[in-house]
Amino acid sequence: MEKAASKTDLRPPVATIVIPTYNQRPEYLRAAVESVLAQTVPVEVLVVDDGSEPEVECFGGKVIRHRENLGISAALNTGIQNMTAEWFCWLSSDDMIIPEKIELQLAALKRSGCMASFHRYYVMGGGGQPTAATFPNWPSHKRQKQELGVGCLINGSTVMIHRSVFDDVGLFDESYKYGQDWEMWCRISRKYEWLGVNEFLGTRRTDGNLTELIARDEDMKRVRDAEDRRIRKQYGPA
């Protein structure tokens, strides 16, 4: 492995990591950004502040600010529209990646010839020990498309996607409030096979994340459930 890329490294970034954030705990955002800055290959860091109050601090990388809260889809699309690298990654502002994440995932993609991938990750709750998240093992692209049409089996903080894929299938659908990730993974799977990288390259926090917030709020759950039905109707088995 290479050592962590120097802040004065003049090589072009091999990937852009987009970190959407909205009123995130500063210590969580700092940890997310620092995990990206520690990568062993040159990367571009784009923090998209989706209308936070107060505005987020710049812990490193470039900050793009929305004047108002437009939602995760809009924040991701802003990142994609401003990225300069060949490969896109998404990191939630309360998650973290290991220093070798970009190097290892990119190497796996180049070996496979695939244009989109995801990897294994740990789940960390409040004060508990990290546990391994479920990792799908699809025997075929057909099975992959079928199972993705039933449930969101790919976590956003694990993806690496070539920018040309978005040119082909379009950006995140901003009509979704919570299901934009699942809908995008299904849309991509119609034309591209997802590569599963069987290595633990990141950690997802569950203490106070969006999934936990939805579970406690009936209005949010109704919106999420309606979006889930919409996705299953469009992409699920006939």
DSSP annotation of 237 reads: -
pTM of the entire structure? 0.92
In the prediction, which pLDDT does 8 show?
53
In the prediction, which pLDDT does 3 show?
43
**Angle made by CA atoms 119, 123, 124, in degrees to the nearest 5:** 145
Helix axes 141-148, 180-189, angle to 10 degrees: 150
Is the pLDDT at 233 greater than 60, yes or no?
A: yes
Q: Share the mean pLDDT of the chain.
A: 92
Is the pLDDT at 22 greater than 90, yes or no?
A: yes
Mean pLDDT for 93-108 is 97
User: Contact at 8 Å (CB) between 111 and 40?
Assistant: no
Distances (CA, A) of 185 to 12, 29, 92, 97, 179: 28, 25, 16, 20, 10
How crowded is residue 54: how many other Cβ atoms within 10 Å of its Cβ?
A: 7
**Could you give the percent of the chain with pLDDT greater than 90?**
82
User: Contact at 8 Å (CB) between 32 and 96?
Assistant: yes
Mean pLDDT for 25-43 is 95
Residue 193 and residue 189: Cα distance in Å, rounded?
Answer: 6
Residue 150 and residue 189: Cα distance in Å, rounded?
Answer: 13
In the prediction, which pLDDT does 19 show?
97
Amino acid at 221: K
Using pLDDT thresholds of 50, 70 and 90, give the confidence band for residue 58: confident
Mean pLDDT for 107-133 is 92
Is the pLDDT at 7 greater than 60, yes or no?
A: no
Phi and psi torsions of 147, nearest 5°? -75, -35
Q: Which of 117-121, 143-147, 151-155, 219-223 has the lowest mean pLDDT?
A: 219-223
Encoding tokens for residue 64? Answer: 């793009």
Amino acid at 86: E
Q: Return the H-helix or E-strand segment holding 164.
A: helix 163-169
Distances (CA, A) of 70 to 22, 66, 97, 113, 157: 10, 7, 26, 35, 20
Tens of pLDDT, residues 41-55 = 999 999 999 999 999
